[in-house]
Amino acid sequence: MWWPRIALLLSILAAALLVFSGLGVRAGLWPFRVGFGMFAGAMLTGLAAIGAASIALAVPRLLVPRLRHPKRMLIAALVLGAASAAVPLEHLRRVKTLPYINDITTDTEKPPQFSLPKVYESHFAELQRIGYPDLQPLSLPAPPAQAFARALAAARAMDLEIVSADEKAGRIEAVATTRWFGFKDDMVVRIAPLGAGSRIDVRSKSRVGRSDVGANARRIQEFLTRLGRERGATYHPRGNDDRLQAHAARGLPARRAGARL
């Protein structure tokens, strides 16, 4: 039987589906639903390659005697299949464990608003508190004008596309592009006076999908962490341990189990 070749072909197909799932969507060759289908196909095909390679390695008589280096082919298929399946499997894990929301903000009571208002769903606040308890506003020991300039510099340093920057209104709007599928997420930063300093609130909302698999929260945290490096700033996130959040979201004891996307 041709197990090594079958396993290797499956792993190559899985890798191709994975790579072109995102490239095709970004290039406009097919809609994102087709890209997601290819993404899921990469997971299934990668798992099939792992299964075929594992069976052939466990049962030597399945190998073709005249085939050169069959074990090398099987190991290559095993590695490539596992690598191709790992990305969509991690995505699936995040969908299952993180809050099923696509709109994140540091102020759930009065979220920063975009120039073209976007509705903030009332039930998102509780889900966010469960999933991202450490996401808080940032206090800067600088007047609003200075805080605005620093916030704008931080947004540019993150390669965000600046849509508008209104210092008088204390608002910066930007667009972020996701790496894999090239989805557009909208982000707004609000700078308000707070005593002798400033308070920074951020909101990030996905245009596509009901779940952002943690992308908006990570983006906000990265932005505030950049600003929080300022001397005297008060923002000290503990980070988002996905496993800890997953247990909290399910109402389970917050025990650790390893870590990580």
Please write down the long-range contacts of 56-61, taking CB distance under 8 Å and 24 or more positions apart: 56/3, 56/4, 56/7
Residues whose CB falls within 8 Å of the CB of residue 128, separated by 6 or more in sequence, listed in order: 99, 101, 104, 105, 108, 135, 217
Residues whose CB falls within 8 Å of the CB of residue 69, separated by 6 or more in sequence, listed in order: none
Q: How far apart are CA 100 and CA 130, in angstroms?
A: 11
pLDDT, mean of each 10-residue run, the chain (261 residues): 84 97 92 94 97 87 61 91 96 92 96 95 94 94 95 96 96 94 95 96 94 94 88 50 41 31 35
pLDDT at residue 67, rounded to an integer: 55
What stretches of the chain show up as alpha helix (H) in DSSP? 3-26, 32-58, 70-97, 124-131, 144-157, 215-228, 242-249
Residue with tokens 């308890």: 133
Q: Give 150-160 pLDDT, tens digit per residue.
A: 999 999 999 99
Residue 140 is encoded by which pair of tokens? 């800067």
Q: How far apart are CA 187 and CA 202, in angstroms?
A: 7
Residues whose CB falls within 8 Å of the CB of residue 211, separated by 6 or more in sequence, listed in order: 95, 98, 99, 100, 101, 102
Four-CA torsion 177, 183, 184, 190, nearest 10 degrees: -70
- Tell me the domain boundaries of the chain: 3-97, 103-249
Residue type, 218: R
pTM of model > 0.75? yes
Residue with tokens 């903030």: 120
pLDDT at residue 3, rounded to an integer: 77
Cβ pair 187, 206 in contact under 8 A: no
pLDDT at residue 81, rounded to an integer: 96
- Antiparallel, parallel or unpaired: β 138-140 and 161-166: unpaired
Q: How far apart are CA 253 and CA 250, in angstroms?
A: 9
**Angle formed by the axes of helices 3-26 and 32-58, to 10°?**
160
CATH class of 103-249: alpha beta
Per the DSSP assignment, residues forming a β-bridge with 194 are 197
What's the chain's length in residues?
A: 261
Residue type, 138: L
